Amino acid sequence: MNKTTWAVLLLLCSLVVPTISGGSEAQIVQTRAQYEVSLRHSDYLVQITVVDDRRGEFWTGCTRTGLLLGALADESGQARGIHTHDRAIATALSNTSRTFHFSNPRALYNLTTVIDPSALSGTVSRACIEMKKTGCMREQDLTGQFVPC
């Protein structure tokens, strides 16, 4: 498939909204406003789609904002720092589909929690499930507990 076909396929897949526990009520997904707030705080969670351009595989899930921003920095090949962080935020904000393409193994490793949700800790896993209801979750304090934004 060419890149345009992949892009259309990914866009269509990102529009599918599953239901909660087989019921008729649709899951709430993270709104654009919640996504933008989450990008500015490393202790928040974001819902994204990760595409492995090497294999043509993609996954949609939840991860910590800091992991996404680190992956974007790794993919760009720039050393991490304040300017790289700002560029990563700008890149994430400009991505209206929230579908991120990666080919750098280090960047993909940073997003293991999206690619393999079993890698999530129990607390983060529960927060990702709760985020489907509230649209926004943040780490409350050093205990690692998450609360709605």
Residue 5 confidence (pLDDT) above 80: no
12-62 residue pLDDT tens? 333 333 322 233 334 568 999 999 999 998 899 999 999 999 999 999 999
List the beta bridge partners of residue 45.
Answer: 64
**What is the enclosing helix (H) or strand (E) of 11?**
helix 3-15
DSSP letter string over 34-47?
HHHHHHT-TTBEEE
Q: Is residue 7 part of a domain?
A: no
Q: Is residue 14 part of a domain?
A: no
Task: State residue 42's pLDDT score.
Answer: 84
Task: State residue 143's pLDDT score.
Answer: 80
Q: Is residue 61 part of a domain?
A: yes
Domain extent, residue 39, equals 28-148
Task: State residue 25's pLDDT score.
Answer: 36
Task: State residue 27's pLDDT score.
Answer: 53
This prediction has a pTM of 0.77
Q: Is residue 12 part of a domain?
A: no
92-117 residue pLDDT tens? 999 999 999 999 999 999 999 899 98
CA 84, CA 64: separation in Å to the nearest integer?
Answer: 17
Task: State residue 141's pLDDT score.
Answer: 81
Q: Is residue 23 part of a domain?
A: no
Domains of the chain: total = 1
CA 91, CA 75: separation in Å to the nearest integer?
Answer: 11
Task: State residue 102's pLDDT score.
Answer: 97
